[in-house]
Structure 1
Amino acid sequence: MSQRVSSLSSRTSRLRTRAAVLAAGLGASVVLGAGVAAAADTGVAALPAAGTANAVQAQAAAQAKAATVKKAAAVKHAAAVKKAAAKKAASWIDPVKKYTLSASFAQAGGMWHSTHSGQDFAVPSGTNVMAAHGGTVVKAGGNGAGDGPAYGNAIVIKHGNGTYSQYAHLSRIDVRVGQIVATGQHIARSGNTGNSSGPHLHFEIRTTPNYGSAIDPVAFLHAKGVKV
């Protein structure tokens, strides 16, 4: 009888031990699951989302910086273009390129009624003639544009401050009276028309649009920074 009771007691004890182990395992699983869930709720699973947000913010900042740099460059370029245009508008240039100076201002000779009224630039016929400064065409045509046949085909441009420039002995005139021209703009082709001993451009600086008011054009251009 006592042996049976002892056996039963031993079997009951083993069952209790197994139940305790199972309960402990189940509790550990529950605790572990809760921990994983808590970790997911508090940041572990959220790390990729946070990294993406940081990357988006960094990209947005880089794009904003690039846009600012591009805008600053555009503003700087526009300012440079405006400055260059203003400088060009304020400057004077030679009326032709690749020339040789021939008859000069106030030079005496049998080719002129008194003394030479301008500066001659010896160039081949057909050479590009440019406006020495921006202004408005006030004379253009044959017979010296009204100043006499000795000038041949001629142009007179009015500039600011009571200054005029004249271009004579032209083979072709490519502007009209009233036209506004810019510094360096093509206005004609050089030639050998009128009282001329060879192809060249006769260039004058005047204080009025008419013959008789010429001043030394080389000295004038030197004062404007042009190396004639």
Structure 2
Amino acid sequence: MSKSAATHRVRQSAFRTRSTVVAAGLGALMVFGAGHAAFAAGTTDVSTALSAPAQLVSEQAAAQAKAAQQASKTAAQAKAAAKAAAAKKAAGWTNPVENYVVSATYGKGGSMWARKHSGQDFAVPTGTPVKAVHKGVVVKAGPNGAGDGPAYGNAIVIKHANNTYSQYAHLSKVQVRVGQTVSTDQRIGLSGNTGNSSGPHLHFEIRTTPNYGSAINPVTFLAKAGVKI
């Protein structure tokens, strides 16, 4: 064998030896790294340690999906409850004003009225929003008691189902017109002190016709409709 060939064979052998050593070193590092991760995780199972991050990501994704599903369900339930409450309110009855003091009651005698008191008075400051107690159609609206006489001042009468009417008097402002359809709890005017009135309040009646003289006890009527005065 020539000297050149012998030198080449020695170099190839040395290269293979270095490659083997490097590969073995890399393998040792990988095993050491996995073993270190396993130790940190409290286990000597390398495969378990390597799969732990993937498992955590999967569990987190599942938890987030479950939370999103629950949030969507809760939102749907809240929406359904709000819709049901709105429907119930629209179908029901309500008070004509809020934050009131009950004053003159139905059937009360006195010099303020030609006969017995025909409605229920709610003492409230002038300008308090007055609401329709139930859905219906406005059949009277304006001054002079809306046709029932000057004692009522500015007034409104709304027709409801089953020949029932509600009347609102002594208003400072009328905010609806005859023929207008109104919904339960809709603002129709502002309370005041117009007509034969001793102070700011709302005079409220329930009637069997749109006209004066057909009033019934409004407190009893509303109580049967589920509204407490």
C-alpha displacement at 1:192, in angstroms? 1.7
Give the aligned residue type for 1:134.
K
Q: Which has the greater radius of gyration?
A: 1
TM-score (norm 2): 0.69
Match of 1:83, SS state, is: helix
The alignment partner of 1:65 has SS state of: helix
Q: What is the match of residue 3 of structure 2? A: none
State the distance in 1 between where 2:104 and 2:49 align.
Answer: 86
Please give the secondary structure, in 2, of the residue aligned with 1:97: coil
TM-score norm. by structure 1 comes to 0.69
Q: Which amino acid aligns with 1:191?
A: G
State the match for 1:163 in structure 2.
Answer: 164
- Matched ranges for 1:67-146 at <5 A: 67-146=68-147
Q: For structure 1, list consecutive stretches of 5 or more residues without a partner in the other structure.
A: 1-21, 37-45
CA distance in 1, matches of 2:154, 2:56: 73
Percent identity between the aligned chains?
63
Distance 1:125 1:193 in 2: 10
Which ranges in structure 2 are unaligned for 5 or more consecutive residues? 1-12, 28-46
Once the two structures are superposed, what CA deviation does each residue of 1:26-60 show, in whole Å capped at 9, x if it has no partner? 9xx8xx99xx9xxxxxxxxx999966765564454
Residue of structure 2 in register with 1:8 after alignment: none
CA distance in 1, matches of 2:185, 2:171: 17
Q: Tell me whether 118-127 or 163-172 shows the greater mean CA deviation.
A: 118-127
3-state SS, counterpart of residue 87 of structure 2: helix
Q: Distance in 2 between matches of 1:166 and 1:220?
A: 13
Measured after TM superposition, the shift of residue 146 of structure 1 is: 2.0
- Residue 222 (structure 2) aligns with: 221
- Cα RMSD of the aligned pairs, angstroms, is 3.3
Q: Deviations over 1:113-155 (max 9, x none)?
A: 3322211222332222222233332221112112222211101
CA distance in 1, matches of 2:67, 2:102: 54
Residue 112 of structure 1 aligns with an amino acid whose one-letter code is: W
C-alpha spacing 1:102/1:48, structure 2 compared with 1 (3 Å): closer
What is the match of residue 176 of structure 1? Answer: 177
Give distance in 2, aligned partners of 1:56 and 1:123: 62
Q: CA deviation at 1:72?
A: 0.8
SS where residue 72 of structure 1 aligns? Answer: helix
